[in-house]
Structure 1
Amino acid sequence: MPKLNISIEDEQKQFEADVAAVEKQWSSPRQAHLKRPYDARTIAALRNSIDAASPASSTQAIKLWNQLREHDKNGTLELTFGTTDPTVVSQMARHSQTVYVSGALCGFSEVAIPGMDHADYPWDTVPKVVQKIFKSQLWHDQRQRQFRLQHSPEKRAKLENWDYMAPIVADGYMGFGSLTSTMKMAKEFVDAGVAMIHVDDLAIGMKKFTVGQGRTVVPTSEYLDRLKAVRMQFDLMGAETLLLCRCDTDHSEFITSVVDERDHEYVLGATSNIEPLQDCLKKAVSEGGDLTAARNEWKEKANLKTFDEAVKAIASESEYSAYSAELSKETFRSLISRRKIASRTVKQEVLFDWELPRSAMGQYMFKPCVKAIVERAIAAAPLGDVTWARMDAPVWKDLVEFHTGVRKVYPDRLFAFGYTGSYDFAEAGFTPDQVKTFHLDLAKLGVVWQVQPIWSLQGLNQAVEKFSKMWTEEAIAGYIRDVQGPALAADPKVDGFEKLSWCGGYLADAFFSAVAGEPITPK
């Protein structure tokens, strides 16, 4: 292996130039709002000696950033939906500015063993789907450009001209492991051409979006470390890729640890003298009892409360006022600090034990609220570009409280929002007319990017089921009536195999012509 023939002086000069380039990028309008826990010298020292950047992701990210800022300026929004299919993406280009690649969809259609949304598939699954879609976008962009340029400018003005390079937003889940795993995932996304990824605060290996008990978040500090790891990987690659900070704290029942005092306000503890929950459940198992019933009975007897609620339950009005006044002198208080304040302001001893309700996997019980989500979003904001709070129900009061709460601290913050497939707007108190303007009302709060993540599991499945029924009952006659006939009769022709400008027939001809030395553009 040959030694590098470079002087120490030249090496240091190149390093200082790299540092200056990093600092210049960080001070740009695109990145000036970001705050890192490391400096430009650290990033420059961690980079390769050659430029290994992936410019496609940066190009798409800047395009998306400009789109979102323009929406915010105009009070408008981008509406998109989730898919993993390149053919579907080619049709989205006519109406949507972006494409969403949902992890849940990938878990159903892109893995060897499909399953519910538990993020239990290989960490590179979603980046590979992004790469597949991005390459299809490049191909559609290429064949459209070639087809247009084989016509004169006069004829070209009448041809279709779609923006197939819609920026891709993808689901990064919780990073799929340690910080180095998170960094590797982020790198794969950038190399694949993604414009933005979102990373959440759920616990690895404990994601449960089912009807059972158990959504679990990590401590605020662990969540921020994930975001720092992603941001650092983007910086190492010199990428403009956007980071969407997603909080899944809403309706979470557990938190993995109480290591971060910022979370202590929301941890539940038993306020009655009672055996540990795990002892109760072990007893129920040994006696052949119902675990769910045993758990619910234990929770009722435990009289679960946060520490502040436990104080309020036993304190007089004046005592609780004194407790609250001293508590408010600092933004965050640990449980130890809360106990000390209570001992000075409340006569009775506060019975509170957050160890007793811990689960079999060691999680602490958690009581989420909008305030908790706002605090996490504010803590994460300096590391990312957009914020998304996953809400399990369309409670307008909570939505307003969250978005206005974050914007009190970050007035220019951009937001994303995801519609679940089971939102019950009527139950949430919305009239039909209010549902019609719901997306526009969200846009007024700064929610510039809105997505229906699992359209394929509802919309596409419905379409396929309907077609399948027709096909098996009516065969080719039904196909001609409902599909082939309308497609061929449309002007311009519907995208399909017969439409050579869409399926790439003219592009293939151009390759052959170019190899043969024939011109492919009019003179």
Structure 2
Amino acid sequence: MPKLEISIQDEQRGFEAEVKAIEKQWAAPRQLHLKRPYNSRTIAALRNSIAAPSTASSTQGVKLWNQLNTHNKNGTTELTFGTTDPVAVSQMAKHQQTVYVSGALCGFSEVAIPGMDHADYPWDTVPKVVTKIFKSQLWHDQRQRQFRLRHPVEVREELENWDYMAPIVADGDMGFGSLTSTMKMAREFVEAGVAMIHIDDLAIGMKKFTIGQGRTVVPTSEYLDRLTAVRMQFDIMGSETLLLCRCDTDHSEFITSVVDERDHEYVLGATKKVEPLQKHLKDGQARGEDLKAARSEWIESASLKTFDEAVEAVASKEEVDFYKTELSKHKFTSLTKRREIAARTVKEEVIFDWELPRSAMGQYLFKPSVKAIVERALAAAPLGDVTWARMDSPNWKDIVEFHTDVRKVFPERLFAFGYTGDYDFAKAGFSEEEVKTLHLDLAKMGVVWQVQPIWSLQGLNLVTEQFGKLWAEEGIAGYLRTVQGPALSTKPMTDGFEKLSYCGGYLADAFFETVAGESITEKGAAKDFKRH
């Protein structure tokens, strides 16, 4: 290969210019809130000599940033839902400002072997779906634009003019492996044209939202490393793509490691001298006992508590107060330091062993709380643009506490919120009127982006089942009455194959006409066109 002929001085001047360009971008209003653990010179050195493709993602990212901040200023919110279907996306443009691509939906419909939402699909699955949807948006944008420009200015007011380029928000799950895998995924998303991706703090290979024991988070430090890897990849590409920091700590039962002292306050330990949980389960299995029952029995016998709860169980009120006073002198306190403080302030021995309850996979038992979620969100906030605390149930007290506490530190923080398909609002104490205004009440706290992630599973399945039954029972008569008739009679006509402006008929004509040397606009006749 040829050797690059460039002087060292020119190379250095180019590098310094790159550094200045990066610093200018980071100082702009769009990125001024971000704090990075690396500097501009490092990023400049990590870049290619040819700029990485990020224009579309940056354009969409800035567009989304402006949309969300406008909502924040006005106390309003964006309501969107999840889909993987370009046809559905084309209709969302009439009512939604954004499109959501859920990993769960992709795992059900976009892979060779569908499955439950365990993020066990290939890491490039969701970026490929984003590519498909973004290309469909470009096509709709193109065919609408040329159709409008075929008409004189005075009649265009009557023509449809939808913003088909709704920014795409996509599910990055937990990054799919090592930090380099996370970076590669982030790059694929940017090249696909995504506006924002979210990264969560769940453990890879241990994602469970089902009943029983299951959901596992990673240490705070590992979560921050994931976010840093994504932010670094965005910076290497010079992209304005947004990063949504999602905390799945709510209702998590396990944590993979206790390497980070920020998590020690919430790890559970046995406060009774019992045999290890795994030995108890192994012996119970040998006796033919039900393992869930055996586990519950052991948990009760072990009297699981956090270390602070273990202190409160044996200490006097005065000792507890002194213990808490000493703890308050430290922002985060490791278990070792907690033991030292307890030894000085509490007469009784504090029995606490967090090794005994560990699972067969080595996970530690974890006691989540709103405080724990807030701490993670605050630690992650400087790396990202939006915060999302995934909550298993619509507990209004917890929702208010989380968003209020984060905004005490970051007053202008933007939030996202996801509604699951089985929220029981009545059980959570919501009245019908409170449910009706929930999205508006959330908006007042800065929740500017709200999503029903799995509409395609719940909503589309319901509609399809209902139509399938009608079609089987009534045939074409049922179709004419419920679908074709209403669609053709609406004004403007509902988008469909009969509507040439929507299905691309006029766009195809434009291609043929252009090749033939004809003009497709009112005043653009190609008088001087000559075919060679």
Instruction: Report the TM-score, using the length of structure 1 for normalisation.
Output: 1.00
1:45-194 paired onto structure 2 within 5 Å: 45-194=45-194
Structure 2 gap segments, 5+ residues each:
524-532
Shift of 1:482: 1.0
| Aligned residue identity for 2:34 | L
Secondary structure of the structure 1 residue equivalent to 2:451: strand
Shift of 1:211: 1.5
| Aligned residue identity for 2:105 | L
Question: Aligned residue pairs: how many?
Answer: 523
| Aligned residue identity for 2:345 | T
- Name 1:341's counterpart in structure 2: 341
The reply on whether 1:19 has 2:19 as its aligned counterpart is yes
Shift of 1:398: 0.4
| Aligned residue identity for 2:233 | Q
Q: Partners in 2 of 1:307 and 1:193 — Cα distance?
A: 47
User: Is the 8 Å Cα contact of residues 267 and 367 (structure 1) preserved in structure 2?
Assistant: yes
User: Is the 8 Å Cα contact of residues 377 and 387 (structure 1) preserved in structure 2?
Assistant: yes
The reply on whether 1:313 has 2:310 as its aligned counterpart is no
| Aligned residue identity for 1:445 | M
- Name 2:242's counterpart in structure 1: 242
Q: Partners in 2 of 1:175 and 1:372 — Cα distance?
A: 22
Q: Partners in 2 of 1:426 and 1:488 — Cα distance?
A: 40
| Aligned residue identity for 2:323 | Y
- Name 1:484's counterpart in structure 2: 484
Shift of 1:265: 0.1
- For each residue in 1:245-288, what CA deviation from the matched residue of structure 2 results, as whole angstroms up to 9, or x when unmatched? 00000000000000000000000000001000000010111111
- Name 1:232's counterpart in structure 2: 232
The reply on whether 1:418 has 2:418 as its aligned counterpart is yes
| Aligned residue identity for 1:450 | Q
Q: Partners in 2 of 1:52 and 1:461 — Cα distance?
A: 40
Instruction: Report the TM-score, using the length of structure 2 for normalisation.
Output: 0.98
Q: Partners in 2 of 1:115 and 1:493 — Cα distance?
A: 38
The reply on whether 1:430 has 2:421 as its aligned counterpart is no
Q: Partners in 2 of 1:407 and 1:444 — Cα distance?
A: 12
Shift of 1:481: 1.1
Shift of 1:185: 0.3
User: Is the 8 Å Cα contact of residues 168 and 194 (structure 1) preserved in structure 2?
Assistant: yes
- Name 1:37's counterpart in structure 2: 37
Q: Partners in 2 of 1:50 and 1:489 — Cα distance?
A: 53
Q: Partners in 1 of 2:110 and 2:53 — Cα distance?
A: 27
| Aligned residue identity for 1:188 | E
- For each residue in 1:214-270, what CA deviation from the matched residue of structure 2 results, as whole angstroms up to 9, or x when unmatched? 100000000000000000000000000000000000000000000000000000000
| Aligned residue identity for 2:61 | A
| Aligned residue identity for 1:356 | L
| Aligned residue identity for 2:418 | G
Which deviates more from structure 2 when the two are superposed, residues 54-63 or residues 207-216?
Answer: 207-216
User: Is the 8 Å Cα contact of residues 53 and 238 (structure 1) preserved in structure 2?
Assistant: no
Structure 1 gap segments, 5+ residues each:
none
- Name 1:507's counterpart in structure 2: 507
User: Is the 8 Å Cα contact of residues 143 and 501 (structure 1) preserved in structure 2?
Assistant: yes
| Aligned residue identity for 1:446 | G
1:272-351 paired onto structure 2 within 5 Å: 272-351=272-351
User: Is the 8 Å Cα contact of residues 130 and 170 (structure 1) preserved in structure 2?
Assistant: yes
- For each residue in 1:39-77, what CA deviation from the matched residue of structure 2 results, as whole angstroms up to 9, or x when unmatched? 000000000011123200000000000000000000000
- Name 1:270's counterpart in structure 2: 270
- Name 1:447's counterpart in structure 2: 447
Shift of 1:212: 2.5
Q: Partners in 2 of 1:420 and 1:205 — Cα distance?
A: 22
Secondary structure of the structure 2 residue equivalent to 1:425: coil
- For each residue in 1:74-132, what CA deviation from the matched residue of structure 2 results, as whole angstroms up to 9, or x when unmatched? 00000000000000000000000000000000110001111111000000000000000
Shift of 1:330: 0.8
| Aligned residue identity for 2:395 | V
Q: Partners in 2 of 1:265 and 1:297 — Cα distance?
A: 25
- Name 2:528's counterpart in structure 1: none
Moved over 2 A (4+): none
Q: Partners in 1 of 2:165 and 2:14 — Cα distance?
A: 35
Q: Partners in 2 of 1:279 and 1:515 — Cα distance?
A: 77
- For each residue in 1:349-382, what CA deviation from the matched residue of structure 2 results, as whole angstroms up to 9, or x when unmatched? 1000000000000000000000000000000000
User: Is the 8 Å Cα contact of residues 182 and 229 (structure 1) preserved in structure 2?
Assistant: yes
Q: Partners in 2 of 1:329 and 1:134 — Cα distance?
A: 51
| Aligned residue identity for 1:369 | S
Q: Partners in 2 of 1:379 and 1:156 — Cα distance?
A: 50
CA-atom RMSD in angstroms? 0.5
Q: Partners in 1 of 2:489 and 2:312 — Cα distance?
A: 72
Q: Partners in 1 of 2:226 and 2:379 — Cα distance?
A: 13
Shift of 1:483: 0.9
| Aligned residue identity for 1:223 | Y
Q: Partners in 2 of 1:74 and 1:187 — Cα distance?
A: 33
| Aligned residue identity for 1:337 | K
| Aligned residue identity for 1:102 | S
Q: Partners in 2 of 1:431 and 1:488 — Cα distance?
A: 39
- For each residue in 1:409-455, what CA deviation from the matched residue of structure 2 results, as whole angstroms up to 9, or x when unmatched? 11110000000011111111111111111110000110000000011
The reply on whether 1:385 has 2:391 as its aligned counterpart is no
| Aligned residue identity for 1:496 | G
Secondary structure of the structure 2 residue equivalent to 1:115: coil
- For each residue in 1:23-44, what CA deviation from the matched residue of structure 2 results, as whole angstroms up to 9, or x when unmatched? 0000000000000000000000
Secondary structure of the structure 2 residue equivalent to 1:123: coil
Q: Partners in 1 of 2:419 and 2:85 — Cα distance?
A: 20
| Aligned residue identity for 1:116 | M
- For each residue in 1:262-319, what CA deviation from the matched residue of structure 2 results, as whole angstroms up to 9, or x when unmatched? 0000000000010000000101111111000000000000000000000000000001
Q: Partners in 2 of 1:41 and 1:97 — Cα distance?
A: 36
Q: Partners in 1 of 2:408 and 2:347 — Cα distance?
A: 37
